[in-house]
Every structure is written in C-alpha cells, then in structure tokens.
Structure 1
Amino acid sequence: MGEPDVEAAARDALRSFATVMGQRAEMLTELLVARSTELIAELPHDPGLVDLLAGSVGSNLETLTHLLRGHVPVDDVRAPAAAVEYARRLAQRGTPPGALLRAYRLGQQLVLAWAGDEIAGRVRDPRTALRTSQLLTETSFAYIDAVSEDVMGAYQGERERWLAHRSATRREVVEALLRGERRDAAHVEAALGYRLAQHHLGLLLWDDEATVAAAGAPEEAIARIVAHLGAGTPLVVPHDRGTWWAWLPVDAGADPRGLDLPAGSSLRVAAGRVAHGLDGLLATHRSAVATQRVAQVGQVPPGRLVSAADPTVRAAALLVGDLPATRALVADALGPLAADGDAAARLRETLLVFVQERESHVATAARLHLHRNTVKYRVDRAVALRGRPLAEDRLDLELALIACRHLAPAVLT
C-alpha cells in the first residue's frame, strides 16, 4: 500500500477501534475509577463522589468515542455535564486542582495502554497499526486539552463561589458573636468549621495598599506563623478588601513575638493574647484589634508582627485610647527626653530596658547587646535630660517610655 492508502486504512481502523471502545465502556470505566481512587489519594473516596467519578469517566469515554468515529469535530468538543459536575464537587470539597488534572492524565495513559494492545491484535499491517496508534494519541491529547480547560474553568469558578459563600457565612457568624449574640457552640463550630474547645491565638492582618493582588496575600503569612508556632489548621475570615481575621489553634503558652514576615511583604500583623473556648475566641480577637490600633498609631512598617504577648504592647493599647492625655503624660514625665529624633529614641529605649531590668547595667547591656559603659552613659544622659531622678514618678516614667516605644511619633514633643 502507498502512504495515502495507509492513512485511509488507519482512519478506518480508528473508527473500528472506537466501536470496540464503546462496547467495552463499562469495563474501562470500572478500571479507570478503580485505578484513579487507588493512585490519587486526594480524590474523595466516599460512595457518592465515587459514583459521580464513574459518571464523569463514562461520559468522557462516550464523548471520546464519538470524536474518534468522526461524529463531532474536535473544535466542538465540550466537557460532558457529569465531568463538569464532578469538578464542581471537588472544588466544594477543597480537593487540590492538581488531583483532577492528574485523574485525566492517568485516564489517558490507561486508555492508550489498553488501546495499544487492541490495535496490535486487530490491525495486521505494522504501518497501519502504527499510524492508527498515532491518530489515537493525537486525538486523545486534543480531547484532553479541550475538556480539561472546561473542567478546570468549572472548578475555579465553583471554588471562588464556594469560598466567597463560606467566607460570608463565617464572617456573619463571627460578627454576630462579637455583637454579643449568643449562639449554640455546636452551631458555631459547624458554621465555622473550627473547634472551640481549645486555645486560640487571634490574628488581624491588613494591607494598607489594599491592592487586588493582595487577595491571596495572607495565606503565606499565616502559614509562616502556623509553622513557627506548631499550630493547627487556622480559621481565616476575610473582613474587607485589605483586612483578614484569623484564629490559630495553639498551645496555651504560644508566643509569636520575634517573628516577621517575608521580605517585601506589604502586610502587617497584630496578634492577640492566647485564650480558651468560645469566650476566648472573642477575647483574643479583641486584643488583636487593640494591638492593631497600637501598630497603626505607631506606624509599624510592613512585614512586622506586633503581639499582645508583650506586656508593653498591652500597656500601649490602654494608652492609645486617649492620645491627648498620653501626650501630656509623656511631656510631663520625660521633658526634653520626649524629643522626636534618633538620639533621644536610643536614650529612651536604653532607659526603658534599664528600668525593666531593675536598674542593672549588666543585664541591660546583655539584653541590648551593648557594652556596659555605653549603657551607663546613655542612662546618665537620659536622666540628665529628664531633669529628675529615676525614683521620682517611677510609674509615670515607665508608662511614658512605653508610650514612646510603641506610639511614636504621635506622642512625642
């Protein structure tokens, strides 16, 4: 046979093979479903979803059969309704999209392997058999390309709708609780998908740039904090375009202090105090909100985490409630030491640590990584600028230094 005869014979053989595939569709469907659920652990294994997977596989095989017979041009191929519905259900379950794509690749691999044996046994001429296999491979790739685009589009669209609906439901429940509307704990847990009888760390993440690109920004930051604390699966509730609320299941002594976000992050994070149970869920959120106010007034730069686990932050959260009174306190307790500038800031920070370390030059030097003589010089200079000894109005002095640490420049003279 000449080459045109080989091509024609191969196309005839492909149509004949398509008929056989249609006759074996039930067997192939069972094989593909069994292998997919065995090899792709992420796919749901409950009976309802397995039945839907079988419907998706069977309808895909039927559509591919029509394509191989030449009943429909490849440009007109669309994903079967059962395949689209299966993709949507996976999106609702939170199944990774890669598992869906892998199922299609695995299905194509198994069909081609089975087809190779069938073609070899039915087509005697080697060149015709080879060309038939090539045509099958080309057609199946074109089919998978067209259908996978449809099912992934359905997956993404459903995932976005599902997440938006779930986020709205969670936000509604949380806001009702914050308003003081008491609800049954079991109802709250079911609505939030989050266990209440544990210790919680409330987080408040925000992005002042509020760009569209920031929509997925908190995921990496929260994952970093979860890993740092060894926390469980978090509850995340988008509050508005640039603000997210989150709760992390943690140990009672969890402390996120000292953790910053990746370089270049435009997010800021306020962490509350760890608390337990339903009341704790609300309490840790409220302390995160108070901490955010401190960070905003103090103009904390992007990429920073401010935590209510720091006692000075908790004190600043009280002081920020009445800034005029706090400014007056700072001016009265510190005098010229309350000036806005780097030199005065260094003196204030050294003096605050010195007070916290019970006026120990050695302990202050160790904590600030300074020489003892440097600490002594700075403390003496700070006291001289203040114009009063440390023992005078000691409480006002410490509160004023805390205010300057966290609320500058809003409270400086």
Structure 2
Amino acid sequence: MLLLCTFLTLCLSAVHSQFPRVCTTDEAISDKSCCPAGKDGSPCGSNSGRGICRNWVTHVIIPTLIASGFAASVPQYDDDRLDWPRHYYNKTCECFGNYGGFNCGDCRNGFHGEKCDRNKTVVRREIRELSLTERKKVFRYLKIAKTTKSKDFVVLTTRDRHHRDTYRFVDATIYNVFAWIHYYATQAIMTPSSFDQSHTYAHRGPAFPGWHRLGLVFLERQIQLLTGDEDFALPYYDWRGEKNCSICTNDFMGKNNGQGTLDPFSEFASWRSICSGINYVEAYCPVVEHEYEMERLRRRPGTDNTVNRLPSFQDVVDTLRWSVFDRSPYNSRATRSFRNVLEGFIRPSNGMTPATTMHNQVHVYLGGTMGQVPISANDPMFVLHHCYIDKIFELWITKYNGNPDTYPENDEPGQGPEECCTPYFPCFWNKDLLRKSTDLGYKYSTYQGS
C-alpha cells in the first residue's frame, strides 16, 4: 500500500469515521484544520451553501446539522481519542440541510442526488430472505469493498502510542477501513504511563448500540457510493433458537474445517484480517501494509465449551422486557439495563446475573476471528450479526419511544451523551444515535425466523 506522508511532530489529523486523506497533509496537521474543499472548490462547499468551516467541533443532530460547543476532556487519560476529534482539529466543516460528509460533498444518511433532495429508506433483510441472485450481489459488493482502496480515507498505524513520531497514515481498502474503525475504538485507553483495558469507546457502556449502528451506516453508505447502487442494504442474521450456525455453509458465509480455516470454495476464503496477528496495547495496527502478514479469517462455531448454543427466541423476548436503556454504573456490571443485557454481560431472564449472553454469546459461539474483539469486524459475519443486534435495538426504541433524552449521563470515557461518537466524523453526539433507524435512511424487514 502507498505510504502517506507525515510523521507527526505536533499531532495527527482526523476523520469522518477515520482519517480523511485530504486532512493528513502537513498544512492540515499544523493548522489543526479539516475544512476541505467541497464540490464547488470552496472550503466545505461554502460558496454553494452546502456548509461552512467552523471553529471547534461541529456535530450531527439528526435530521438537522448544527454546531456544538462540546468541551471537556478527561484529565486522567492521555489518549488521542478522548475529546474526539479535538485532539486533532480545531476547525471542521458544519454541513447545512441534507448535506453531509467531512467536506459537505456528500448527502446526509438517507438522502441522494446532486442536491441531496431525494429521500430513500432502504430495507435490511434477513440473509435467508434474499434470493440466490440477491445474495450473490451482496457477496460481490462486499468483495469489491474488500479489494478497492478507499479514495477518501486512510488508517492510522503506530509502533508506540506514547511517541507521536511513530504515527503514520497508510492506505486501506473500504472494508478494511470499516474493520479498522472497530479496532481503533476498542484499543485500551492510554494513560500517561500505562493502559487502561477496562474501558473502550465502543463497548461496556451506553454508547455500545449507537456506536455499532453508526459503523454499519458508514459501511452501507460507502458500498452505495462505490457501486452506484442506492438501493443496497446490508443483510442481517437472525440467529434466534438455532441449534447451530445455519449460514456457516458455502451457500452463505462459508463452512470451516476443524482448525477454523474457511473452505477454499467459500465466498470469503481468501479474506485476511487487517490489524491481526500482533495485538500490542502500546501500538495501533502494526500489521496493516502487507497483506501476507495478516491472518486469514477463521471460524469455529460451537466449539467453545463455555458457550455451546446461540441465543434463544425467549432470550430476545426477555431482553426487550427491560425498559430502562442503561443504569449506573453504566458498564458491564449494570443490572436491569437493556443496553447491558443486549450487549451480553447480564442474563436476559432476570437482568441481574452475570453471564455471557446475546451479543457476546454470538461472538464467542462463532469463535475464530469473531471471538477476538479488536479484529472481529474483519469477518463479514460481524456485519450480519450486528445488523440483527441493531434490529433488536430498533425494536426497543419503537417499544419504549427511545430518543436522545433517554441516553444517560455517565462517566465512561468517550461515552457521555454530548461526547462525539469515537472515531466518527463529522461528530455525532452519542445520544443522537438513540433514535429511529429511518432517520438514518434504513429500516428492517419483519422476518419471523424458523
């Protein structure tokens, strides 16, 4: 891959859910500014009324984009992702109306067209609802995303997170950018002298369902732009009550041998995992530039002795019984918390007993790449699984009228209601992902399962 410039002496430069290529120049780094030219050649498309370059961070309020005044970082940590993205930029684009993207050159989610005036809501369907032709198209699109270098975004790699002169940006494919986003958000939080592995920006707190919702929206939109197919929607896997993984076959996501290696005739046999192989807390993604150094995808469904089944129909029903979105202490110990039950740290039936359930249960059950949290998004099974977790989240929002006011104040690093969802850019406040999926341009089918 082409190495992009810039060893950092001051600070890095930041992102739309990663790092925009045009904002990794020496000038952007020294100015702490990410206000790239829009389609009309002016910063943020200001000459054509698409947006404006603003001081400090602007955040996305769905459906209207407005500027935010978010400020405080957390003093006990020394992590580049805290106070996102102000560690990197003092100026970013604020987009108006239906315009979006890091330079306001795109449309906000759910809108299309030159003037972003065509609203479209795509339907995410269960993968077994798709015809063979439709399923093959999804696989083809995922493969194109896996092999096409992103023209807009680059990813970050370091040898030592405490030393800025080891930070650099490198190219990645569109799907690998998506996988890197999850990896980056789940790495241990850096302190001045060590690392805190008890917190992440994507898990173990109120941001969990919204953070993953935004990641799926990012990938879905990037594939729509890449293929020109505005109707493309990610599929989901409704795993309720399955005795084994029914889509772990070559007709669907691929079967595996006893060592977890995918069958050579499966759709994803050749896929390799960005940031795999070496997982040092003091480095970001040391395996990124040379594909041959990356691990192949692996899956071992049903072989973990601690988790020998997928969640049941009743588990999902019980999960939706918990009406409070999240509760103190707003981490993996929270009881009677919908978020913590959905994430899978507490038993759905009583909301109290620690257990590996729901979201976590599926990851452990599938094993292999999916069983390794930082790199799990490399397996396209991650997409199908998290789309179903997102569907359950959507059912909860509809049932209890969930909205941004439902999102609780909390002390989890980077997971406050008015903190930016790390590392997405432009900034979405965490609380603003707690609203109906149609506000983001998609909805779910009513598949009932077998």
Q: Provide the TM-score with structure 2 as the length reference.
A: 0.22
User: Could you say which structure has the higher helix fraction?
Assistant: 1
Higher relative contact order (CA 8 A, sep 6+): 2
User: Could you say which structure has the higher strand fraction?
Assistant: 2
